[in-house]
Structure formats: structure tokens, C-alpha cells
Amino acid sequence: MGPTAEVERLAASTYVSLTTFKKAGTAVPTPVWVSSDGDLLYVWTQGDSGKAKRIRNDGHVLVAPSDSRGGLQGAAVEGRARVLDSPADLSRVAALHRAKYGPQFRLFDLGAKLFRRNRPLVAIEIALG
């Protein structure tokens, strides 16, 4: 299965488990919403979240379809992730998430704006393989 088929399989899930790694190598899985554009997957998160910090340190990740609690529902795939924080990138990824999740994402985004207290949001771009 090539990268595009894997991206389509993962993007078809409502949630994926995004596993990032601490400096000591400890795996930290987190269930997240995911969207795609071409051969890339995108995740939305707080800029000071653990996963964003771990990705800035080491971009190696594992991605697998999951439920909202992180229970795996398919095979994991290795990938490389990077944090995107430019306004243009954030707008593009927010639009991808709005298109996929509709009103549910709009409510999530509104709640994040109300309660994040100036904590910046970032997008995470994931290339599989």
C-alpha cells in the first residue's frame, strides 16, 4: 500500500492515534482529529502541547486509526511530522478540518479560542513513510 492509499485510510478515520516520542524514547500516543491534503496528514493542537514539543525535538511519529479514547482500530504507520505555525498554514489546516468535521470543529475551535488564554495554536503536518 503506497503513501496515498495509507493517507486515505488514515484520513477516513474520525480520529487517529498520533504517537510521539520523548527524548528517552518513551512512546506517547494521543487521539486527535486528522485531515488530509494530497499525500499529507494534518493535526491541530496547542503550540505548547506535549506533542508539539516532542515533534519539535524529534519528528518521528506513528499514526493509526483510533477511537476518541485512543483505542487502535487499525495498523500504525511510521511518519515524519513538523510543526506549522504561520498564519497561512493555520488557516489552511483549519479550513481542511472545518470541511471534514463541519459544525463539530467550529464548536471545538470556538471553545479553544475562549479558553486557551492566548495559548497559540499550531498545525502538525505528517508525511508517511
Residue 9 sits in which domain range? 3-128
Band of residue 2 on the pLDDT scale cut at 50, 70, 90 = low
Total domains present in the chain: 1
Q: Give the CATH number of the domain where residue 96 resides.
A: 2.30.110.10
Q: pLDDT tens-digit profile of 44-88? A: 888 888 999 999 999 999 999 999 899 899 999 999 999 998 999
Average pLDDT over every residue of 112-128: 78
Whether residue 21 contacts residue 78, with contact meaning beta carbons closer than 8 Å, is answered with no
* Amino acid code (one letter) for 1: M
